[in-house]
Amino acid sequence: MTAIHREPRAIEIGEAALAEMRELAPSLVFAMIVTDDGFELAHAPQKTIDGGRFGSMTSSVQALSEAVSRELRIGASSYVVIAAENGHVLQQRVPGQSLILASLFDNHETLGKALSISRRCVEKLSAELAPHNLQGFPGSTTHP
Amino acid sequence: MAEHVILFAGPMGAGKTTAIRSLSEIEMVNTEASNTERHIVDKETTTVALDYGEITLGDDEKVRLYGVPGQRRFDFMWSILKERAKGMILLINNDAPDAVALAIDYLASFRELVESGSAVVGISRRDLARTPSPDDYADALSAAYPGSLIPVFTVDPRNAGQMTTVLLTLVATLDSRVQPEAVQS
């Protein structure tokens, strides 16, 4: 069985979703869809930062945030925000998949709009990956 | 209460998460994700940030146990966690290709701890691979770190008794170290 990040159809869907996201948010500096264990499915735009590093860090941050939610018994973590001086990073799970969308916006974007764009992207990914039965790949069924 | 922070490092599949689970008195905190690289290590999940557990030794010594991800692409977590660590247990699965070289390679990433005599090596999965022997590791470690004593154990990370012995050895070493301040006063 092929892991989802090596499935050409899944990669195509991911790239299309990120392209649409870029159109909606010119302030998007970099975005990547990664597996739970940090491997890239798709990214946009063409490499402006070290994607491998970004993917691994996304995986660690997501896992830590979910460990905190579990520990505090506050339910599933919806998204993770790192608000910094010159931009913000937003992470959100793709519903029904072991995939995470991580997006870096510059500080011209409001957090609210970034969140809305990110949510739209993960919903689109979820809807488009499901009919292709791509949720059956290893590790892709553990999250709601 | 005295506190120690001990790291568990080593390659994916060496038994770091299992060892902490064996030792911890509290429910372990873990950050495991589905492993999509099953063709490399046939393991369902992999640690992507850290494992955390605690154990109390004696009446007043708490040991915080941190497991780091085994895969080098998560080495930023190694850097974060080693800043806090007083000592480390390197677990190496003996059935890994060139396991001795792998041990030397991992230890190099934690050089400060190794050179200060704050590291021990635990060889796991020896039931699956009899070689290399503990002596092979000891010889290679002596050559790589002349003057540093790095104890080598054969362990089963599932065995709490064995893991406790390794941990106690490390903590005793850390406790016995002469503090410069104490010498001056």
The stretch B50-78 carries a mean pLDDT of: 94
pLDDT at B114 over 50: yes
Nearest to A139 among B29, B36, B50 (CB): B36
Count of domains for chain A: 1
pLDDT at A100 over 70: yes
User: Which residues make Cβ contacts (< 8 Å) with residue B23, sequence separation at least 6?
Assistant: B53, B55, B65, B160, B163, B164, B167
Cross-strand partners of A28? A105
pLDDT at B149 over 60: yes
Shortest Cα distance from A60 to chain B (angstroms)?
4
Q: Tokens at residue B133, please?
A: 């022997």
Nearest to A59 among B45, B48, B50 (CB): B48
DSSP strand pairing (B2-9 vs A79-84): unpaired
A40 touching B (Cβ < 8 Å): no
Answer yes or no: do B48 and A5 touch at CB < 8 A.
no
Shortest Cα distance from B41 to chain A (angstroms)?
13
pLDDT at B181: 56
A56 touching B (Cβ < 8 Å): yes
- Distance from C-alpha of B42 to C-alpha of A103, rounded to nearest angstrom: 31
Q: Report the percent of chain B where pLDDT is more than 70.
A: 96
- Distance from C-alpha of B85 to C-alpha of B80, rounded to nearest angstrom: 10
Q: What DSSP string runs through A85-126?
A: TTEEEEEEE-TTSSEEEEEEEETTS-HHHHHHHHHHHHHHHH
Interface probe, candidates A2, A35, A37, chain B, greatest B C-beta count within 10 A: A37
CB atoms within 10 A of CB B161: 8
Domain carrying residue A39: 4-136
Q: What is the pLDDT of residues A23-66, one digit of tens each?
A: 999 899 999 999 999 999 999 987 678 888 999 999 999 999 99
Domains in chain B, ordered, with CATH? 2-173 (3.40.50.300)
- Using pLDDT thresholds of 50, 70 and 90, give the confidence band for residue B185: very low
A141 lies in some domain: no
Q: Report the percent of chain A where pLDDT is more than 90.
A: 72
A61 lies in some domain: yes
Shortest Cα distance from A94 to chain B (angstroms)?
15
pLDDT at B159 over 90: yes
- Using pLDDT thresholds of 50, 70 and 90, give the confidence band for residue B83: very high
Q: In A, which residues are within 8 Å of B32 by CB distance?
A: 63
Residue A63 is given by DSSP the state: H
pLDDT at A135 over 90: no
pLDDT at A143 over 70: no
| Whole-number average pLDDT of chain B | 92
A117 lies in some domain: yes
The CATH number linked to A23 is 3.30.450.30
- Distance from C-alpha of B34 to C-alpha of A137, rounded to nearest angstrom: 10
